[in-house]
């Protein structure tokens, strides 16, 4: 019989949707998270022999998440650290894992004490990878759609027999920002840093002429790494959402960059990782995180 080994493995409970209300006063607070817990360690017997003596049930992981929420949740990242600490200290054979959260943003309706609406377009993300004594914390967001209606072009590219694209010095640039950044330590004011990174990226977007989406992503990363020495790495996986200029000549009309068709597929896809020079890499922590290279 062919000998088969178990290399990487992790398991747990995904998308535990917790809403935690703080009601110490009439002015309530809300935190809304979807939390995934996955354990790594010695689980060979479960796979090879059907022996579950090491398999902390995914149901128990769920229960733990809800029970811990009772104590309150500050940031998603802090909550993930608490989960990691619990599972790796409680069970000898759990040597690490991946814990992840998505955070949905709520705002008060007209400054109301207890009525809210979900208002952030983007979803905030956090992933903690623990491998023995090493913690890697990766924060980010996705779903923030941005557009520049001018100050963007694409020229000077190589042409071959398959090239039909025309150069342009004025086009629409649009993308859904999906980004993750890696901290170089874990004692962070995560909420404040999140707000700052998001604002810094948006601000960088508008500042300069864009020679390509590649160029703009770099500008965003540079600004973030400049501002936050707690961050060593910034990744992007961003579609180039094509806005094609409509050819209206059939109707005798010109179209000086006024009417565009926003296409769905295919789309450009630009993925890039920018790192602080001299910083350590943490490549293993990124395996399995979708759509980032």
- Active-site residues, by number, are 13, 58, 242
The site map against a second copy for 19-58 (x = CB under 8 A) is xxxxx----x-x-x---x-x-x--x--xxxxxxxxxxxxx
In angstroms, how far is CA 220 from the centroid of its own chain?
A: 15
List 89, 110, 185, 187, residue binding a second copy (CB under 8 A): 110
In the complex, least distance from residue 155 CB atom to a second copy, rounded to whole angstroms: 7
List 85, 192, 262, 280, residue binding a second copy (CB under 8 A): 262
Q: Which residue, 159 or 185, is less far from a second copy as judged by CB? A: 159
**Candidates 76-84, 180-188, 189-197, 279-287 — which segment interacts with a second copy by CB under 8 A?**
279-287
C-alpha–C-alpha distance, residues 91 and 85, integer Å:
10
Residue 169 interacts with a second copy (CB under 8 A)?
Answer: no
Question: With contact defined as beta carbons under 8 Å apart, do 224 and 179 qualify?
Answer: no
C-alpha–C-alpha distance, residues 82 and 67, integer Å:
12
Q: Which residue, 52 or 192, is less far from a second copy as judged by CB? A: 52
Question: With contact defined as beta carbons under 8 Å apart, do 11 and 21 qualify?
Answer: no
Residue 85 interacts with a second copy (CB under 8 A)?
Answer: no
Q: How many CA atoms lie within 13 A of 55 on its CB side?
A: 16
Residue 243 interacts with a second copy (CB under 8 A)?
Answer: yes
In the complex, least distance from residue 241 CB atom to a second copy, rounded to whole angstroms: 10
CB neighbours of residue 76 within 10 Å: 26
Residues 56-75 that bind a second copy (CB under 8 A): 56-60, 62-64, 66-67, 69-70
List 74, 168, 192, 261, residue binding a second copy (CB under 8 A): 261
In the complex, least distance from residue 255 CB atom to a second copy, rounded to whole angstroms: 7
Q: Which residue, 8 or 133, is less far from a second copy as judged by CB? A: 8
Tokens of 24: 């110490």
Residue 16 CA: distances (Å) to CA of 13, 86, 87: 7, 17, 16
C-alpha–C-alpha distance, residues 198 and 124, integer Å:
10
Which of 63, 239, 12 minimizes the C-alpha distance to 146? 239
Residue 89 interacts with a second copy (CB under 8 A)?
Answer: no
Question: With contact defined as beta carbons under 8 Å apart, do 226 and 220 qualify?
Answer: no
List 74, 134, 169, 269, residue binding a second copy (CB under 8 A): 269
The site map against a second copy for 177-216 (x = CB under 8 A) is -------------------------xx-xx--xxxx-xx-
Question: With contact defined as beta carbons under 8 Å apart, do 11 and 43 qualify?
Answer: yes
Residue 134 interacts with a second copy (CB under 8 A)?
Answer: no
In angstroms, how far is CA 253 from the centroid of its own chain?
A: 43
């Amino acid at each position: 019989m062919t000998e088969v080994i178990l290399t990487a493995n992790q398991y747990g409970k995904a998308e535990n949707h917790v809403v935690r209300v703080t009601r110490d006063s009439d002015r309530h607070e809300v935190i809304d998270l979807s939390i995934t817990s996955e354990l790594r360690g010695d689980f060979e017997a479960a796979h090879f022999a059907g022996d579950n003596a090491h398999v902390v049930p995914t149901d128990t992981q769920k229960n733990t998440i809800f029970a811990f929420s009772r104590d309150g949740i500050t940031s998603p990242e802090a909550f993930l650290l608490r989960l990691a600490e619990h599972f790796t200290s409680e069970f000898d054979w759990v040597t690490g894992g991946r814990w992840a959260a998505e955070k949905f943003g709520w705002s008060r309706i007209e400054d109301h004490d207890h009525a809210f609406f979900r208002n952030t377009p983007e979803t905030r993300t956090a992933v903690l990878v623990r491998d023995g004594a090493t913690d890697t914390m990766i924060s980010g967001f996705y779903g923030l759609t941005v557009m520049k209606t001018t100050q963007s072009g694409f020229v000077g590219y190589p042409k071959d027999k398959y090239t039909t694209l025309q150069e342009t010095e004025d086009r629409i640039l649009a993308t859904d920002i999906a980004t993750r950044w890696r901290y170089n330590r874990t004692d962070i004011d995560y909420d404040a840093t999140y707000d700052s990174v998001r604002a810094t990226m948006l601000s960088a977007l508008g500042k300069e002429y864009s020679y390509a989406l590649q160029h703009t992503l770099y500008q965003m990363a540079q600004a973030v790494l400049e501002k936050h020495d707690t961050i060593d790495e910034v990744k992007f996986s961003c579609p180039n959402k094509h806005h094609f200029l409509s050819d209206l000549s059939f109707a005798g009309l010109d179209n000086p960059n006024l009417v565009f068709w926003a296409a769905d597929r295919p789309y450009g896809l630009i993925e890039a990782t920018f790192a602080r020079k001299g910083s350590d890499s943490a490549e293993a922590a990124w395996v399995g995180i979708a759509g980032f290279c």
